[in-house]
Amino acid sequence: MSPIYLAQDPTLADFGRDPWWLVLGKIVFAFAFGLLATLLGVWFERRVVGYMQVRPGPNQVGPFGLLQTLADGLKMAFKEDILPKAADKVVYFFAPTISVICAVTALSVVPFGPMVSIFGHHTPLQVTDVPVAVLLLLACSSMGVYGIVLGGWASGSTYPLLGGLRSSAQMISYEVAMGLSIVAVFMTAGTMSTSGIVAAQGDATRLTIFGTEIPAPGWYAILLLPSFIIFFIATVGETNRAPFDLPEAESELVAGFMTEYSSLKFALFMLSEYVAMVTMSAVTTTLFLGGWRAPWPITIWEGANSGWWPMLWFFGKVIALVFVFVWLRGTLPRLRYDQFMRLGWKVLLPINLVWILVLSGLRSIEDWDTRGKVIAVGIPAGLLLIATLFWPSRRPQPKPTAQEQVDNRPYGSFPLPPMDLQVPPSPRITRVVAEREPANIVAGSDSREV
């Protein structure tokens, strides 16, 4: 391991030794991080989208509009709470809480930093860790969708039910792609522990550029570029964010699974979406972006990955990923449902399977540096994947002229006005005028001239 990456990496043996008050403090910190990041995330999204659309965004309530989200929460709390007559009252009440609880629970195995000293106790900046922590993250991601499905079913209405069915289809389609992406991660790291995955990404990789060797981070976003791209796309689909916000598509489902919700229950559903966005950004940072480790230029400083500084690098990476979520919402239109399903089953899934087979073959070759060969294959494969996703599916056809559109219209279609913009004479007006002044009528003349 290179000395610039030396840090006090926690292991599984370091967990389970803290006093109760320290464990409680970690739990409160993780919950406060999720709640506070969500409140600021709503403000951040509105400000960034406002900047993209050349408008100020929220700037009246509090300095820079920072209290706007709090004001919106108070407004929702005092709104009338309407319960549909046909709703299942118990499931209708607990559905929003399921989504929020599952999103916050995933933060319990996310490492925020290395080993630190808190009031004389040497402890990792992580609530807990288990040998199968990655499976816990997948379980939380899967269970969070059940809140949306149950909320749509319990509302007793058609539009929420359709939104819930769309959510179940999204869960099945993109959970498979997300799971296969994580398979490549713990296949390379050799562990499913989140702290172990972060430690495995700490080994420096030497890249040769123009004959000069430079240290580069062993982040799996670089080593496993195809897995990182597929995982992030699946993350956007799992969190119901644009352009994959089909369960709550306003254009055809009014508001989807949230149509019959109001007041604080509606606020919980909206809160769960942003909590899931922040949580999945933290998970992506842990699995692919080195977790709490500093990026390469900062690692020249030997103390970058020790003490409390790693929390700053972790929060910076999370904010950068949240910005990408907001960027996608502000730039991309919503996909059609058939396009969404085609992307999940016909593009992401086959590419992921082929990439795992290639990765397994590379690891079985002897006398070849594993990281070097993965980089040599992974980066071109990731670039090819990006080109495949954004390559036009069909050649654009030349747009027909207006006269060709008129000539090619099917028989019996709605009549079109003449292309010379001359309005034909009205038969009724022509008949009335002919009855009154038969001598002045010229056959085929315009009724307005008569």
Evaluate whether 204 touches 195 at the Cβ level (below 8 Å): no
Mean pLDDT for the chain? 80
Distance between CA 128 and CA 188 in Å, rounded?
22
Buried b (16+ CB within 10 A) or exposed e, 175-202: bbbbbbbbbbbbebbebbbbbbbbbbbb
Q: In the prediction, which pLDDT does 418 show?
A: 56
Peptide bond into 295 cis (omega under 30): no
Question: CA 288, CA 276: separation in Å to the nearest integer?
Answer: 18
Distance, in Å, from the CA atom of 117 to the CA atom of 313, rounded to the nearest integer, reads: 19
Check residue 111 and give left, alpha or beta (phi > 0: left; psi -120 to 50: alpha).
beta
Range of lowest pLDDT (348-352, 422-426, 430-434, 439-443): 439-443
| pTM across the whole model | 0.79
Non-local CB neighbours of 33 within 8 Å, separated by 6+ positions:
107, 112
Distance between the two ends of the chain, CA-based, in angstroms?
96
**29-65: per-residue pLDDT in tens?**
999 998 888 888 889 999 999 999 889 888 888 888 8
State residue 286's pLDDT score. 94
| pLDDT: which is higher, 446 or 173 | 173
Of 149-158, 289-298, 405-414, least confident by mean pLDDT is 405-414
Residue 123: helix, strand or coil by DSSP? strand
The per-residue pLDDT for 206 is 54
pLDDT in tens, 126-142: 999 999 999 988 888 88
Q: Can you give the pLDDT at residue 450?
A: 41
Tell me the Cα Rg of the chain. Answer: 29
Report the pLDDT value the prediction gives residue 250, as an integer from 0 to 100.
66
**Is the Cβ–Cβ distance between 27 and 49 less than 8 Å?**
no
Q: What is the pLDDT of residue 27?
A: 92
Which residues, 6+ apart, have CB-to-CB distance to 154 below 8 Å?
87, 88, 91, 92, 95
pLDDT at res. 4: 39
Name the amino acid, one letter, at 263: S
13-17, 241-245, 383-387, 427-431, range with the lowest pLDDT: 427-431
Instruction: Report the distance separating Cα 121 and Cα 433, nearest Å.
Output: 102
pLDDT number for residue 315: 93
